[in-house]
Amino acid sequence: MEGIGISVIEHLLIHQKESPAATGQFTRLLSELIFSAKIISREVNKAGLVDILGLTGDINVQGEQVRKLDDFANKVLIYRMQRAGVLCAMASEENADIIEVPDNLPKGNYILVFDPLDGSSNIDANVNIGTIFSIYRKVSDRSYVTLEDFLRKGAEQVAAGYFIYGPSTMLVYTTGNGVNGFTLDPSVGEFLLSHPDIKIPEVGKVYSVNEAYTCYWDEPTKRVVEYFKSPDNERGKPYGARYIGSLVADFHRNLLYGGIFMYPADKRDPAKPRGKLRLLCEAAPLAFVVEQAGGAATDGKDRILDIKATALHERVPLFIGSKKDVEKATAIMQGKA
Ligand code: AHM
Ligand code: MG
């Protein structure tokens, strides 16, 4: 029947039939993630109405102030996902250590890494924010989980994606078989397929970077940004500049319209020479999505998905988006263009 739409779980079940290994565990995991995101979305949507905006007063593991909605989103995800029965452990951008599933709760073999509310410094201005997630299977056959189970290459992800809370709430994700986008229809409470088989244009029209940090960049990074601003680049005209300062929102726009997002390394903090974004909960999941949409992601040298994490909260420079634009930026960073 026309006009009803395909829900995300229906879509997953149709495509899972093609996989003989499907056990229903992943469907359960995704259902629980979706439910958590609906709760977060509900709170984000009424954020201006209740006393939930502002800061909690705490400082998180990254040394940043925790906003109340970050804290709420983190708690919802931990509470619900611990009870899904399909995870053995999780890691959140907001928690210093691995979050284990307690022994009194049923466990599974999946591992979930997430950024509960990315772009949260924008919450008070009603700007789009999102939840980024990354799913792995446990590697070891021990009954307990160790850091080793998390310190993996992004190429080993089973699935990854994000929820974006904006004028509408969307889920964009991949299981390694293309990228699909679903929009929450609040009248029925379901995410319906709205963007099937998303492909990012090979060359984009926009570049996204916080250019205020030019003074902290090395020469190759400055040349990359000059390339995108130059009328003499391969496109023959400057790219437009678009920077929201909310990774999910910047990434999502570039995924749909084409473009490159960059968060390069900078010299601001000698202790953190690797940019701001985190490999496991931000760069790797978005790299999986962009590659599945035909794009690319590097750290200015190597493919993001080939980088093996060495710490839970490791940071990485990020160049992500349209394939040709990322290739060009990487070549300039390597002195090859
Ligand atoms: P967050 O996860 O604490 O929200 O921080 C990550 C955010 C990204 O969403 C965004 O791309 C970046 O920080 C913006 O940083 P800056 O203000 O340095 O440009
Ligand atoms: Mg973030």
User: Residues 75-116: pLDDT tens digits?
Assistant: 999 999 999 999 999 999 999 999 999 999 999 999 999 999
pLDDT at 265 over 80: yes
Q: Distances in Å between the alpha carbon of 195 and those of 4, 88, 159, 199, 203?
A: 15, 32, 17, 10, 20
Distance between CA 71 and CA 225 in Å, rounded?
A: 35
Residue 113 CB neighbour total at 10 angstroms? 28
The pLDDT of 135-144, averaged and rounded, is 85
Residue 237 CB neighbour total at 10 angstroms? 10
What's the CATH code, domain 206-333?
3.40.190.80
* Residues in the annotated binding site for substrate: 118-121, 210, 243, 276
pLDDT, mean over the chain: 91
| Among 161, 166, 171, CA closest to 291 | 161
pLDDT at residue 57, rounded to an integer: 66
pLDDT band of 143, cuts 50, 70, 90: confident
Query: 155-193, pLDDT tens digit by residue?
Result: 999 999 999 998 899 999 999 999 999 999 999 999 999
CA 104 to the chain's CA centroid: 31
| Among 239, 241, 240, 238, CA closest to 212 | 241
Residue of 126 and 278 predicted with greater confidence: 278
pLDDT > 90: percent of the chain? 76
Ligand closest to CA 121: 1
Best of 55, 56, 65, 121 to mutate for ligand 1, by most ligand atoms within 8 A of CB?
A: 121
Residue of 154 and 43 predicted with greater confidence: 154
pLDDT at 199 over 80: yes
* Residues in the annotated binding site for Mg(2+): 93, 115, 117-118, 282
pLDDT at residue 312, rounded to an integer: 96
- What is the predicted ipTM? 0.94
pLDDT at residue 272, rounded to an integer: 63
φ, ψ for residue 148 (rounded to 5)? Answer: -55, -35
* Residues in the annotated binding site: 93, 115, 117-121, 210, 243, 276, 282
128 Cα: distance to centroid of ligand 2 (angstroms) = 13
| Among 118, 89, 93, 117, CA closest to 103 | 89
Angle between helices 284-292 and 247-257 (to 10 degrees): 10
- Convert 71-104 into a string of H (helix), E (strand) and C (coil): HHHHHHHHHHHHCCCCEEEEEECCCCCCEECCCC
Distance between CA 120 and CA 117 in Å, rounded?
A: 6
pLDDT at 13 over 70: yes
pLDDT at 63 over 80: no
- Residue-range domain boundaries for the chain: 8-195, 206-333
Distance between CA 236 and CA 177 in Å, rounded?
A: 34
Distance between CA 27 and CA 86 in Å, rounded?
A: 10
191 Cα: distance to centroid of ligand 1 (angstroms) = 26
The first and second tokens of residue 122, run together, are 């924008």
pLDDT at 141 over 80: no
pLDDT band of 123, cuts 50, 70, 90: confident
pLDDT at 209 over 60: yes
pLDDT band of 207, cuts 50, 70, 90: very high
> Tokens 């792995």 — which residue?
136
Residue type, 66: V
Distance between CA 203 and CA 322 in Å, rounded?
A: 5
Are the CB atoms for 295 and 326 separated by under 8 Å?
yes
pLDDT band of 51, cuts 50, 70, 90: low
The pLDDT of 250-258, averaged and rounded, is 98
pLDDT band of 18, cuts 50, 70, 90: low
- Which residues are CB-neighbours of 177 under 8 A, at least 6 positions away? 15, 292
Residues within 5 Å of ion ligand 2, judged at the Cβ atom: 115, 118
What's the CATH code, domain 8-195?
3.30.540.10
Are the CB atoms for 178 and 292 separated by under 8 Å?
yes
Helix or strand holding residue 53 (H, E): none
pLDDT band of 74, cuts 50, 70, 90: very high
- Which residue ranges have their beta carbon within 6 Å of ligand 1? 64, 93, 115, 118-121, 210, 245-247, 276
Strands 296-298 and 159-165: unpaired
pLDDT > 70: percent of the chain? 90
DSSP class of residue 283?
I
Distance between CA 63 and CA 87 in Å, rounded?
A: 28
Residues comprising the chain, all counted: 337
Ligand closest to CA 320: 1
